[in-house]
Amino acid sequence: MPTLTCVSCGKTYPLATGLRCSCCNEPLEIRYESLKPPARIKDEPCFITRNANIFPWSDLRPELSLGEGATPLLEAPNLQQETGLNFLYLKNETANPTWSFKDRGTALGVQAAVRFGLRAIGTVSSGNMAASIAAYAARAGLAAYIFVQENMPAVKIEPIAIYNPCLYRGIGDYGQLYFNALRWGEKHGIYFISSDNPFRVEGQKTVAFEILDQLNYQQLDYIIMPVSSGGNMAGVIKAVEEMEKMGLIKTAPQVIGVQAEGCCPIYKAAAEGKDQIEHFGQPNTIARAISNPIPPSGNRILRKVQQGRARIVAVSEKEILAAQSFLAHQEGLFVQPAGAVPVAAIRKLAREGSLKPSDKIAAILTGSGLKDTSVLAQHRLKFNQVPVDKLEQALC
């Protein structure tokens, strides 16, 4: 039987709704006695069925899926030309049912909730997580309890509200709201599928399995991705370690996590050689989806950095905006600022010479540009206004 194991002290727990270790308050992860490879994308289109071998249960309910995963892995000819890197791939996670990678984790989290007999799931979120939880709860006939911050504008709340969850805009201290929500969850049987919920992490590890599947398990040197709470990156590191253990690949790619300079608690702790994350203070970045100042899986990522499995870099606001435009102008991909940070990092690392032309690199574009249109004002986009009878002369 798989177990829940503390990522820090190794204490094991039965597979149940526990989220963190009772001794050290670090996250729990699922460990298996033995692992088998997932089916290939070309052989099995359904996310749930295809990945049954790398999930804790094999008898899952495919009808609860919304068609997540199997997103395109695109070559990036113009980014290659600009950076001089010869092997660059972009994993387009905006092609998921609610337009971000969160759906992979929610898909398995919902399976866990149903299996544990719970009637309600919940999250505290300011965007992608909330939409994903609300959508999958609707599909599974579960209630969804969603807590958002007091300053969240209606244009961002409405695309969550459309799924009809129980949605609360908490007035007052957001940190307080988070801890209250977890307490109420335990008391009222609401299963919180937060960023590093062990089942969410198992669902999210599929993105790395897919990238290697799409590359026919050929050598890959780096996977580059944004990191905030650390849940998604923990899943990707777990996946490459499992693939290496199973012999699907010879050497696991190194995972490079990217933070915004305006909120980079993991980068800061790694650069200062610390083994504990400290609260970053007031986040200040346009990449709002990666602005967690006290990442719950930060220490876990730091340990992987110390083991050489992972590395953390930080990019500036200017570099993030430039990467977002570059992806739209040059590759036809409109991602949100958080989704553009890996490309900002690739351009920076290539310029500095820390990525070599022969390195094989995949970047994960985590969420759609339509999720955060407020940033568009900063691009000063232009269009021409012309009388209809003067249009032909105005053509440029």
Ligand X SMILES: *Cc1c(COP(=O)(O)O)cnc(C)c1O
By the criterion CB under 6 A, which residues form the site for ligand X?
A: 100, 102, 128, 195, 226-233, 289-290, 336, 338-339, 366-367
Q: Please spell the DSSP secondary structure of 315-328, one letter per residue.
A: E-HHHHHHHHHHHH
Least distance CB 64 / ligand X (angstroms): 21
- Which option in Zn ion, ligand X, none does residue 24 bind, with CB closer than 5 to 8 A by kind? Zn ion
144/156 Cα distance (integer angstroms): 17
Residue 29: which of 243, 236, 302, 234 has the closest Cα? 234
Q: Report the sign of the C-alpha dihedral through residues 235, 92, 114, 19, in that order.
A: positive
Q: Closest CB to ligand X among 4 and 129?
A: 129
Find the shortest distance in angstroms from Cβ 36 to ligand X. 26
Handedness of CA 289, 292, 296, 298 (dihedral sign): positive
Closer CB to ligand X, 65 or 123, in the complex: 123
Q: How far apart are CA 17 and CA 105, in angstroms?
A: 15
Note whether 76 and 331 are within 8 A (CB).
yes
Nearer of residues 9 and 294 to Zn ion, judged by Cβ: 9
Q: Would you state the structure tokens that stand for residue 243, as one six-digit string?
A: 């693939």
For ligand X, the closer of residues 100 and 111 by Cβ is 100
Judged by CB under 5 A, the residue of 19, 21, 30, 48 near Zn ion is 21
Helix intervals (H) in 101-216: 102-115, 128-140, 154-161, 174-188, 198-204, 206-214
Candidates 24-32, 52-60, 190-198, 305-313; binding stretch for Zn ion (CB under 5 A):
24-32
128, interface contact from ligand X, Zn ion, none, CB < 5-8 Å by kind: ligand X
Residue 367 interacting partner from ligand X, Zn ion, none (CB closer than 5 to 8 Å by kind): ligand X
Is residue 142 part of the contact set for Zn ion (CB under 5 A)?
A: no
Contact segment (CB under 5 A) with Zn ion among 20-28, 159-167, 209-217, 349-357 equals 20-28
Q: Please choose which of ligand X, Zn ion, none residue 9 contacts, taking the beta carbon within 5 to 8 angstroms, the exact cut-off set by kind.
A: Zn ion
Q: Does 271 bind Zn ion (CB under 5 A)?
A: no
Which of residues 160 and 289 has its CB atom nearest to ligand X in the complex? 289
- For position 376 contacting Zn ion by CB under 5 A, the verdict is no
Nearest-approach distance from CB 235 to ligand X, in angstroms: 8
162 binds, among Zn ion, ligand X, none (CB under 5 to 8 A by kind): none
**Among Zn ion, ligand X, none, partner that 232 touches (CB below 5 to 8 angstroms by kind):** ligand X
Contacts of 186 (CB under 8 A, 6+ apart): none
Residue 133 interacting partner from Zn ion, ligand X, none (CB closer than 5 to 8 Å by kind)? none
Is residue 16 a contact residue for Zn ion (CB under 5 A)? no
Q: How far is CA 357 from each of CA 116, 203, 353, rounded to the nearest angstrom?
A: 49, 32, 9
Helices (H) and strands (E) counted in the chain, each on its own, are: 14, 13
Give which of ligand X, Zn ion, none residue 285 binds (C-beta under 5 to 8 Å, depending on kind). Answer: none
Write down the least CB distance from residue 38 to Zn ion, Å: 29
What is the strand order of the sheet 3-6 is part of?
12-13, 3-6, 28-31
- Work out what residue 102 binds among Zn ion, ligand X, none; the CB cut-off runs from 5 to 8 Å by kind: ligand X
Amino acid residing at 137: A
What the block records as the tokens of 126 is 């300011």
Using CB under 5 A as the binding rule, the residues of this chain from 72 to 131 that contact Zn ion are none
Of 51 and 100, nearer to ligand X (C-beta) is 100
User: For Zn ion, which residue of 4, 6, 112, 233 counts as binding (CB under 5 A)?
Assistant: 6
Question: Could you tell me if residue 192 is left (phi over 0), alpha (psi between -120 and 50 degrees) or otherwise beta?
Answer: beta
Which residue number, 142 or 290, has a Cβ lying nearer to ligand X? 290
Q: With respect to ligand X, which residue has the nearer C-beta, 52 or 104?
A: 104
Q: How many residues does the chain have?
A: 396
Q: Which does 23 bind (CB under 5 to 8 A by kind): Zn ion, ligand X, none?
A: Zn ion
Do residues 365 and 339 touch, judged by C-beta distance below 8 A?
yes
Q: Are 355 and 85 in contact (CB under 8 A)?
A: yes
Residue 245: strand, helix, or coil: helix
Comparing every residue's Cβ against ligand X, the nearest one is 367
- Encoded amino acid at 29, one letter: E
With both helix axes pointing from N to C terminus, report the angle between 102-115 and 128-140 in degrees, rounded to the nearest 10. Answer: 40
Residues making contact with Zn ion (CB under 5 A): 6, 8-9, 11, 21, 23-24
